[in-house]
Copies of this chain bind each other. A is one copy, B any other.
Amino acid sequence: MPPRQRIKPGTRIITWTEDCFDGAAKTAADLPSKVMTPGHDNPQTGPFYIEGAEPGDTVAVHIIKLDPARSYAVSSFGPGFGALVGSSQTAMLGPDFPETTWRYDIDAKRNVAIASSRNGSLTWAVPLAPFLGCLGVAPAGGEVRTTIVPGPFGGNMDCPEVRAGNTVFLGVNVPGALLSFGDGHYAMGEGEIMGAAIEGAMNVEVYVELLKRTSTPVPRIENANEVMFVGSGRPLEDAARVAFKSMVGLARERSGLSEMDAYQFVAQNTKASIVQLVDPEYTVLVRLEKNRLPGLASK
């Protein structure tokens, strides 16, 4: 997509993102395949052309604020998509489950989203934990990917750590970087095994910084306490390998450890979450508390 707006590095963007259904699904009766305009799935805000951004640079997106923009959110099951059913990639015989929608109502006081079983007899409440399912720059190699795909360029990472208070670092692949974001999630379980989170429009405030001549081959997220890598790929162990290898590299760079020592250090000190298990590439998050990084031996 051509850029919609040009910004300078150091810009604060205050904006809004529509949900992955382009706002068309509002109740448990709204099946996305019926109510959505074709081609409108998972719309993004952007792209923003960042002046001066060139391949080899890194964009740092500081997420200042993410606020649910509606009093409800929607989740859904679409046939042929999901981690526990046959899909276009993990092809299985037999009938598909039917397309199904759940509406979640936001209870701002309790800070939860509340849904009911299809027959209305049971309810559950999910604590709000808003994040952006998508945040990315243009891919490398002249590729254009749909907004359902995560990768080295970020994109549909569906990662709960793309949340207020964190900074996302993405390597620039094309002039201007072409930053975009959207796919607000009010909350999501790890794995996103049904293929949709609790999806809702979001008020967004981010601050965009440009790090010149800084390579970032794998998306990285940081805050004061933690550094994290987001690996995407299939099978899931390959997604994990991408993130873990990046962490070994970071331990080497920041602490001066040898590769073997860094491997041992990372092996004993990181946490690893399955972020999503449904997109064309799966995603794993590997995290490290920064204060665990090795220091000089006091001899």
Which residues in A have some Cβ–Cβ distance to B below 8 Å? Answer: 39, 75, 77, 82-86, 88-95, 97, 100, 102, 115-126, 141-146, 187-194, 196-198, 231, 233-238, 240-242, 244-246, 248, 255-261, 263-274, 277, 282, 284, 286, 292-299
Contact = CB atoms under 8 A, between A and B. Distances in A.
6 contacts: A90-B90, A90-B238, A97-B260, A124-B265, A124-B293, A189-B269
Contacts of A235: 234-237
Contacts of A116: 297
Nearest to A116: B297
Contacts of A246: 91
A80 to B, nearest CB: 11
Given A118-B258, A234-B238, A93 B268 contact: no
Given A88-B242, A100-B264, A189-B266, 20 more contacts: A77-B264, A83-B240, A84-B244, A89-B242, A91-B231, A91-B241, A115-B264, A117-B294, A122-B296, A123-B294, A124-B265, A124-B269, A143-B144, A188-B268, A189-B271, A190-B272, A194-B263, A196-B267, A237-B277, A240-B277
Nearest to A251: B124
Contact of A92 (B85, B89, B294): B85
A124 B294 contact: yes
A75 B91 CA distance: 23
How many copies of this protein are present in the complex?
4
B124 A267 contact: no
Closest 4 A-B residue pairs measured CB to CB? Answer: A235-B235, A194-B267, A234-B234, A236-B236
A294 B119 CA distance: 13
Contacts of A297: 116-117, 120-123
Contacts of A257: 117, 122
Contacts of A189: 266-272
Contacts of A143: 143-146
Contacts of A241: 83-84, 90-92
Contact of A268 (B97, B141, B187): B187
A112 to B, nearest CB: 10
Contacts of A118: 258, 260-261
B121 A75 contact: no
B91 A84 contact: yes
A260 B79 CA distance: 12
Nearest to A292: B124
Nearest to A120: B297
Nearest to A234: B234
